[in-house]
Amino acid sequence: MSRIAMVLAELVGVFIIALSIVYIYYKFVIFNFWRKRSVFYIEPVVPTGNITALITGKKQIGEYLYINIYARFHDRGLYYNEMIDPLSGHLFLMPGKKWRNMRVKMTPTFTSGKIKQMFSIVKESGEELAKYLENKAQMRDSVEMKDIFARYSTDVIMSTAFGIKSNSIEEPNNEYRMKGKKVVEANSFWIALFLFTPKIMDFFSIPTVDRHIASFYINMFRENVEYRQAHNIVRHDFMNLLIQLMERGYVDPDDGKKATTESSTVNKLTLTEATAQSFIFFTAGFETSSTTATFTLYELAQHHDIQDKVQQEIDEILTKHGGLTYDAINEMTYLHKVTMRKYPPLPVLNRICTKEIDLPTTNIRVPKGTLITIPDRRAFGIYLFYKPTLVIADFDLIRVVLTKEYASSHNRGMYYNEKIDPLWRNLRAKMTPTFTLGKIKQTFPIVKECSEGLEKYLESKAQMRDTVEMKDIFARVMSYMRIMRLIDAMRNGIASLNCPLKDVRLSCLMTTFLARASLIASQPLHPLYSPLHTFLMAKTALDLNTKPELLQLLHSSHVEHNAHRHWILQNIRDGMKEENDVNVALKCVLFKILLDFHTCALSDTKTK
């Protein structure tokens, strides 16, 4: 019995020693990779560790890797195995020499001339989308734009890549749309393996694409190729270019002349290779395109000034070209700039170092096989929605812009809609008399009264030797002044009615607005503080026969637009008490405005 115990004790001892050796090896050798290279890193934990990847946010390094020495960083380090996963044999995943050979074959298929030939297909699908949206607008139906754009991009890419009219806009649940959804529906666990541990997937022979989906796309592509070859059908699309690569190993040049390159068996694409290129054309295109278009529409809805400028550019160029053409779209430079600035489809770019290098501006030597991750800084809030901006730091130039050239630079580039807001020049002409020296002098008693109150308060604090938070004190003084300004504007509004004070009766709509606005005047962090402050400073007299700030808050383009909209709607709901309120509502066309907005796509559930 004691002998068995000794053996067990020895085994336990050996196990502990072996475990300790493994721990020390991983802790101070394997997991010491970046420390030896003086690179900041997250301390790995034994036994899981972390990913041996270099993440750089420097623009100069990214440009150096992708331009100067791209030949050493063309591999993405993602999972690729065309034997068990035939649809993974495409440009995006292929490594090394295979990638170079495929790139040489595929590059001629993406020239501007070839893309121009496909434009008629895109235009046809665009016209179908326009008709669909027109019908929805006439019926006042709400539309889920992300889904609509996904169906539209599915139609476009299925037509160009597979030569099939999928008609997903009219039939959202057809087979092609359902298969497309399944392609992008992936488990996060498999995505992590695909991105960071491709060797595990290769070891267990795990395909990235479901076998049923792979069979569907391979059979569909084969059937279309055989049909076109049997009936001698030539269509200017991506599939026709792939057929040329399968039959001859090269594509016809853009000038329409026949290429003189002799056929070569080595350079020809196999059916499986062609299907894989068509498949990545579809998967990389339809989801990214729909996402980009959706975010673009969202931002344009938030920035009406940019929306108006984009619309103006489109109208002018379409008039110039007599309609929508490939050349017309290429001339829409401002439209191109506002499309992919803030929400890039891929937040990071991965590359594998295929040859040891020294990174410029650093002391880091990157060994062969290291994964380098370059985050797209736009995806982390560094880039805002595109608006070309010139930053001036020269004081003499600033003086010229704000004095001599002010007539050419008075526009601040913020939201403006002349249908809702008055023009700047007209408004300035009206508002300038309210800021004359005489008018400011009339408000001086209010300022003086507030200052005397502040002085007494500070004297009492000084006598008690209490500390004072001056920013808070000044904020309270300004809040008091705004309330006094509100009362003064209301008094002037009553005076403008030209009737005895005893006959004046304010509507509940107005009193509800005034009471709640006065509460917000003392809350600088409130979402309504800024617009109400602007309103109070601009109004010397209130129009008591309307609903203040109705259109401005209801159609707000501010980031807190929902808070603005809900606040004014709650004011209307709580202030509609008497017949006088109904008369005021009728006079300012309140009911029509609300009913129109109720059917608008901007009206969310809470608003309705």
pLDDT tens-place string over residues 157-172: 888 888 888 888 888 8
SS3 469: coil
Q: Does residue 427 carry a pLDDT above 80?
A: no
pLDDT above 90 as % of the chain:
2
Q: In 3-state terms, what secondary structure has residue 27?
A: helix
Decide: 118 and 125 in contact? Cβ < 8 Å: no
State residue 57's pLDDT score: 57
Q: Is the per-residue pLDDT at 537 higher than 80?
A: no
- Confidence class of residue 366 from pLDDT cuts 50, 70 and 90? confident
Query: CA–CA distance from 132 to each of 171, 174, 285, 541 (Å)?
Result: 12, 17, 22, 48
Alpha carbon distance 153, 161 (integer Å): 12
Please check the confidence at residue 87 and state whether its pLDDT lies above 80. Answer: yes
- Residue 375 is predicted with a pLDDT of 66
What pTM, to 2 d.p., does this model score? 0.55
Model confidence at 340, pLDDT cuts 50, 70, 90, reads low
Burial letters 31-60, b for 16+ CB under 10 A, else e: bebbeebebebeebeeeeeeebebebeeee
pLDDT at 388: 40
pLDDT at 247 over 80: yes
Query: What's the rounded Cα separation, in Å, for the pair 357 and 54?
Result: 13
Where is mean pLDDT largest: 158-162, 352-356, 387-391? 158-162
Q: Which of the four pLDDT bands, split at 50, 70 and 90, describes residue 4? A: confident
pLDDT digits (tens, 9 = 90+) for 63-84: 666 666 566 666 777 777 778 8
Q: Kindly tell me the sign of the dihedral angle through the C-alpha atoms of 600, 604, 605, 608.
A: negative
| pLDDT over 80 at 352, yes or no | no
In the predicted model, what is the mean pLDDT of the chain?
75
For 99-122, the pLDDT digits (tens) are: 888 888 888 888 888 888 888 888
According to the model, what pLDDT value does residue 295 have? Answer: 85
195-212: average pLDDT:
77
Q: What is the pLDDT of residue 363?
A: 72
pLDDT for residue 316:
92
> How much is the average pLDDT of 528-538?
71
DSSP letter at 66 equals I
Check residue 217 and give its pLDDT: 87
DSSP for residue 210: -
